Amino acid sequence: MSDSPHSLFDLSGRVALITGGSVGLGRQMAEALAQMGAHLVLCARKLDRVQQAAEELKQLGSQTLALACDVKDPASIQSAVDAAIQRFGHIDILINNAGTSWGARTEDMTLEQWNKVIETNLTGTFLFSQAVGKHMIPRRRGKIINIASVAGLRGSSPEFSAIGYSASKGGVILFTRDLAHKWGMHNIHVNAIAPGWFPTDMSAKIIERNKHRLLADIPLGRFGGPEDLKGAAIFLASDASNFVTGHTLVVDGGQSA
């Protein structure tokens, strides 16, 4: 008998490592996976915030581990991966969510500002995928979910001057496609989610300043809410997506349609 729809989405006993998992979209996705039974390894630069998130999410019945980690630092990444495996024995799901942006006109952006965004959003995704993938490959199973953005799908108007962010997220989308080709032979699924406008610490001010214009471009007429990434994350982390790899799932209210 084939699996029931409910069992396809069940994550009981699986271990998910989520970068940038203490706040915003990372926290939303962490909560979703915990609600489906997954144990959580939350990584972020600020240990106090990630510890608080881990304590709160523990109330959902999951085992949690809070770790300080800098996705730009290979040694920090390796330390986090080692700690997760020491605690849980394996990692089934990786969500590369940690990200940053820098607003500046292209002609004024410094190399330091550009590098900070690229190193966090794109290089960090590569480094964490590499470190976790070395453990997924011998087990012949794994789900990697990279958080891209609709900003990585097309250009934006001059008032949204964050070309490093757009370039990095476009890179994440192609990295996702290419890694899916490379690791499909190991039964590792590599997909991405491209969110649209969700109010977070990083985007709230931009949304507030441009609210009416942004809403005019979103067919559903609203911004993303606290439940709107959960289904996408659960789908790509679970057996429900076992024949899906190299895909970017757009969650933007129709903005890019």
Cα distance between residue 180 and residue 87, in whole Å: 28
pLDDT in tens, 46-65: 999 999 999 999 999 999 99
| Residue 76: CA count within 13 A, CB half-sphere | 13
1 pLDDT band, cuts 50/70/90, is: very low
Q: Which of 134, 149, 148, 98 is nearest to 119 (CA)?
A: 98
Tell me whether residue 139 is in a domain: yes
pLDDT of residue 201: 77
Tell me whether residue 257 is in a domain: no
119 pLDDT band, cuts 50/70/90, is: very high
DSSP type of residue 184 = G
Number of domains in the chain: 1
Cβ–Cβ < 8 Å for 197, 203: yes
| Count of beta carbons in the 10 Å neighbourhood of residue 31 | 22
Cβ–Cβ < 8 Å for 53, 78: no
pLDDT in tens, 32-46: 999 999 999 999 999
In this structure, of 31-40, 98-107, 152-161, 232-241, the range with the lowest mean pLDDT score is 152-161
3 pLDDT band, cuts 50/70/90, is: low
Which CATH number fits the domain that encloses residue 231? 3.40.50.720
Tell me whether residue 63 is in a domain: yes
How far does CA 83 lie from the centroid of its chain?
Answer: 20
Long-range contacts of 53-59 (CB under 8 A, 24+ apart): 53/21, 53/22, 53/23, 53/27, 57/30, 57/31
Asked if residue 98 has pLDDT above 60, the reply is: yes
pLDDT in tens, 163-217: 999 999 999 999 999 999 999 999 999 999 999 999 887 777 888 888 898 999 9
Residue that is written with structure tokens 């008032």 in the block: 159
Cα distance between residue 152 and residue 20, in whole Å: 19
Tell me whether residue 256 is in a domain: no
Tell me whether residue 241 is in a domain: yes
156 pLDDT band, cuts 50/70/90, is: confident
Cβ–Cβ < 8 Å for 151, 162: yes
User: Average pLDDT in the 93-105 region?
Assistant: 93
Token pair for 2? 């084939």
Tell me whether residue 176 is in a domain: yes
Residue that is written with structure tokens 């192609």 in the block: 174
Asked if residue 223 has pLDDT above 70, the reply is: yes
Asked if residue 151 has pLDDT above 60, the reply is: yes
Tell me whether residue 103 is in a domain: yes
Asked if residue 237 has pLDDT above 80, the reply is: yes
Q: Which of 16, 4, 12, 5 is nearest to 142 (CA)?
A: 16
pLDDT of residue 2: 54
How far does CA 184 lie from the centroid of its chain?
Answer: 20
Tell me whether residue 183 is in a domain: yes
Catalytic residues, by residue number, are: 165
Greater model confidence, 3 or 224: 224
Host domain of residue 159: 10-250
Q: Which of 111, 114, 179 is nearest to 143 (CA)?
A: 179
